Amino acid sequence: MAMDDRTIIAILFHWAIAILLAPLFVGIISKTKAILAAKVGPSLFQPYYDIVKLFQKGVVYSRTTTWIFRVAPVIVLAVMLVLALMIPFGIVKAPIRFAGDIFLIAYLLGMARFFIIAAALDTGYSMEGMGASREAFFSCLAELALFMNFVTLAFKTKSLSLSSMIGADAPVRWEVFGPSLFLVVISLFIVILAENCRIPVDDPDTHLELTMVHEVMILDHSGPDLAYMLYASAMKLFLFMNILVPIITPIYSHDAVVGVIVFLAMLVGIAVTIGIVESSMARLRLNRVGNLLLIAFVLAFFGFVVALWKTI
């Protein structure tokens, strides 16, 4: 692709949106949970304040850790920032898109996961090891469900680029894709909950090893490292929500203002829904989480079967 001014500006603009907006949605989820619990709750911009505060703190490294521990937050955040360029926002296509970019996205997430798990095992303590083991297990099933969703979407849209698959350049028609799309949406929602460590898969608020997957893996990071990790998880949530948004957006208009308002409204809607789900359920027992992810997989599989049937 030619690197002219428009493309560079598009890349920078895309990045700016992702960098600025990502932590806001973590704040929205916390606020929703607080309101449902009849509390005032933290400010909507609390994650921003947390990140800034952490940058001002010092960093402590244990003598058990190696260079992997120091390098992991950098790699994880770099992966999320690069992914921000490959995921479309609403009807704005991703600046970097090509046939097969879904595989690069999935395996870049795998790279981030490898380094988080390695950094957790680097500390030499059982809590982080526990979180790492659970993360490795859940990611197997979550990856299966995610790829099944990709297969269904690719089969329906006959395209291999994420922007075309989820309808960022041609709106995905519910009338055409129908019931299989409904199943894909539910399956993707469960995958979002699992990959971003929300209830019912993981509890992001407590800091006990019994209830954590993601929080415990980053337990030993401090200062700017922890800031990078928090920011990366907020960005991951934002990017996953953006995969869901174009599929469920009901209104399409070419007017820029209306498009932006609809896009933001859908994002806020998904964040509020996640908050409601988190408030209304308890975290599942760990051996039940596997079954939940299997259900997500089977729903996507059924969606594929229906889509396949419709073409015969």
Partner 1 sequence: MEDMDSILRFPWHVPFGELFLKLDPLNALFLAAVAVLVACSSVYGIGYMRQYKGRKPLYVHVFFYVLLAASFVTVLLANNAILFLCAWETMSISTYFLIVFNDERSAARKAGFLYFIVAHSGTFCLFLMFLLMAQVSGTMNFDVISNTKFSSGLSGIIFILALMGFGVKAGFLPGHFWLPHAHPEAPSHVSALLSGIAIKTGIYGICRVLYILGVLPVWCGYLVLFIGVIAGLMGVLYALGQHELKKLLAYHSIENIGIITIGLGLGLIGKSCNQPYVSVLGFSGALFHVINHALFKGLLFLDAGAVIQRTKTGEIDRLGGVAKIMPLVSVLFLVGALSICGIPLFNGFMSEFLIYLGLFNGLFCLSLNGVVSCVIAILALALMGALALACFTKVYGSVFLGIPRETFPPQERPSSKLMLAPMMILAGICIWIGIAPWTVAHFTFCGGEYLSRIPSSTDHFSYVMGSLPAVIMVLIIFIAVASFLAFMKYRVSRGTLVTGRATWNCGYPVDSPKFQYTSSSFASSIVEYFKSVLFFKRHGERIDGYFPRHMTMHSGVKDFFEDSVFRPMFAKAVHLSRAVDKKNILFTQMYLMYIFIFLIFLMLWKLRG
Partner 2 sequence: MEITWVDIICVLAVFLSLAIISTRRIVGMIQIFSLQSLLIGLLPLLINSGMPSAREILVAAGTILVKAALVPAVLFWAIRHVSMRSEIKPLIGFGTSVIIGAILIAGAFRMSLSLKIPWVAQYDLLVPCSLATMILGFMLLVTRTRAITQVVGYLVMENGIFLFALLLFDVMPLLVEMGILLDIFVAVFIMAIIVNHINEEFEHAPATFNREKMGESI
Summarize as ranges the residues that interact with partner 2 (CB under 8 A).
174-180, 182-183, 290-291, 294-295, 297-299, 301-302, 305-306, 308-310, 312
> Which residue's entry shows tokens 């704005």?
92
Rounded distance between C-alpha atoms, residue 149 and residue 75, angstroms: 27
Residue 175 touches which of partner 1, partner 2, none (CB < 5 to 8 A by kind)? partner 2
Please count the residues of this chain forming the interface with partner 1, following the rule CB under 8 A. Answer: 80
Residue number with CB closer to partner 2 (161 or 180): 180
Residue number with CB closer to partner 1 (65 or 273): 65
Residue number with CB closer to partner 2 (67 or 309): 309
Considering only 24, 28, 72, 79, the residue that binds partner 1 (CB under 8 A) is 79
Listing DSSP states for 122-180 in one string gives: HT--HHHHHHHHHHHHHHHHHHHHHHHHHHHHHHHHT--SHHHHTTSSSPPPHHHHHHH
Q: Does 151 bind partner 1 (CB under 8 A)?
A: yes
Residue 4 touches which of partner 2, partner 1, none (CB < 5 to 8 A by kind)? none
Other beta carbons within 10 Å of 99: 10
Residue number with CB closer to partner 1 (265 or 305): 305
Residue 35 touches which of partner 1, partner 2, none (CB < 5 to 8 A by kind)? none
CB 77 within 8 A of CB 221: no
Write 120-123 long-range contacts (CB < 8 A, 24+). Answer: 120/216, 120/217, 120/218, 122/64, 122/65, 122/66, 122/68, 122/69, 123/62, 123/64, 123/65, 123/69, 123/219, 123/220
Rounded distance between C-alpha atoms, residue 48 and residue 1, angstroms: 35
Other beta carbons within 10 Å of 53: 10
Least separation in angstroms between residue 150's CB and partner 2 is 17
**Residues pairing with 89 in the sheet:** 92
Residue number with CB closer to partner 1 (31 or 214): 214
Distance of CA 22 to the CA centre of its chain: 10
Rounded distance between C-alpha atoms, residue 188 and residue 241, angstroms: 9
Least separation in angstroms between residue 136's CB and partner 1 is 4
Site string for partner 1, 209-238 (x = CB under 8 A): ----------xx--xxx--x----------
Residue 269 touches which of partner 1, partner 2, none (CB < 5 to 8 A by kind)? none
Q: Is the peptide bond before 250 cis (omega within 30 degrees of 0)?
A: no
Residue 252 touches which of partner 2, partner 1, none (CB < 5 to 8 A by kind)? none
Contact positions with partner 1 (CB under 8 A) in 165-204: none
Other beta carbons within 10 Å of 35: 14
Q: Does 49 bind partner 1 (CB under 8 A)?
A: no
Considering only 8, 9, 52, 71, the residue that binds partner 1 (CB under 8 A) is 71
Least separation in angstroms between residue 141's CB and partner 2 is 9
Contact positions with partner 1 (CB under 8 A) in 290-309: 290, 304, 308
Least separation in angstroms between residue 298's CB and partner 2 is 4
Q: Does 8 bind partner 1 (CB under 8 A)?
A: no
